[in-house]
Amino acid sequence: MALTGFFLVSFLMFHLTMNLFLFEGSRGSFSSFADFLGTFPIVRPIEWILFGGFLLHLLLGGFVWLMNRGVRPQAYKVKGTSKTIKLSSRLSIYTGTLILAFLVWHLIQFFIASRFAGHPVDMFVLVAQAFSNPVTIVLYEILFVILGFHLNHGFQALFQSLGLRTAKYRGFIDAVGVIVWLLIPLGFASIPLVMYFGGAR
C-alpha cells in the first residue's frame, strides 16, 4: 500500500503541475502538453502502469480493510471512537471509495472524452467547459477536501510502514506531510475557481 501510495502521490504532483498551466496566461502550453500526452506513443505504456498502480492500491486497500475486520469477526458491544486512531485513518476506506467514484467520472469527462472523440480536441476548452458549471465545481471542491483527508492518513501510514516514522524524524515527516496532504489538494482546488472566476468559461 505504501509503495503504490507513493507512486500515486508522485503522479498527483505531476498532474497538478501540468494542470497549473490551465491558468489563462499559459493556455497554449497546456493544450500542447495535453496533445503530446494524447499522441506520443511512449505515453501509452506509462498510462497502463498508472492505471495498474491505481488498481493495485485499491485492491490492497480493500484487502487490508477486510483483514482488519476479520481480526475481530464480532463487532464491539460498546461502539466508541478510538482516541489512538486518527479520524482520517478510520475513514480512509470511505474516502478512498469516494475518490474512486470521482476518478470514474473524471476519466469519462476528460480522458475518454478526448481520446475517443474521433477528432482533435482542445483540452483547455474541454476543461473550461466542464468548469463553467457551478455544480461540477462544487463536486470537485468537495472531492479535494476528501482527497486531503485521504492523503493525511496515507502520508503518515507510508512512513510508518517503511519504519521511518521514528521519534527522531516524526516532526520532520509530519511537516513535509503538510505539503502533500494540504498543498496538493489546495493547488487542485484553486484551478476550477480561478478558471470560473477568472473568465475562462
DSSP line for the chain:
-HHHHHHHHHHHHHHHHHHGGGSGGGHHHHHHHHHHHHH-TTHHHHHHHHHHHHHHHHHHHHHHHHHHHHHSSSPPSS----SSS-HHHHTHHHHHHHHHHHHHHHIIIIIIHHHTSSS---HHHHHHHHTTSHHHHHHHHHHHHHHHHHHHHHHHHHHHHTT---HHHHHHHHHHHHIIIIIHHHHHHHHHHHHHHTT--
Q: Among 34-42, 65-73, 152-160, 170-178, which window interacts with ligand HEM (CB under 6 A)?
A: 34-42
Q: Closest CB to ligand HEM among 27 and 106?
A: 106
Site for ligand HEM in 88-117 (CB under 6 A): 99, 103, 106-107, 110-111, 114
| Residue 136 near ligand HEM by CB under 6 A | no
The 37-56 contact track toward ligand HEM, x by CB under 6 A, reads xx--------x--x------
Q: Closest CB to ligand HEM among 158 and 165?
A: 158
Q: Closest CB to ligand HEM among 165 and 200?
A: 200
Site of interaction with ligand HEM (CB under 6 A): 15, 19, 34, 37-38, 47, 50, 99, 103, 106-107, 110-111, 114, 123, 127, 140, 147, 188, 191-192
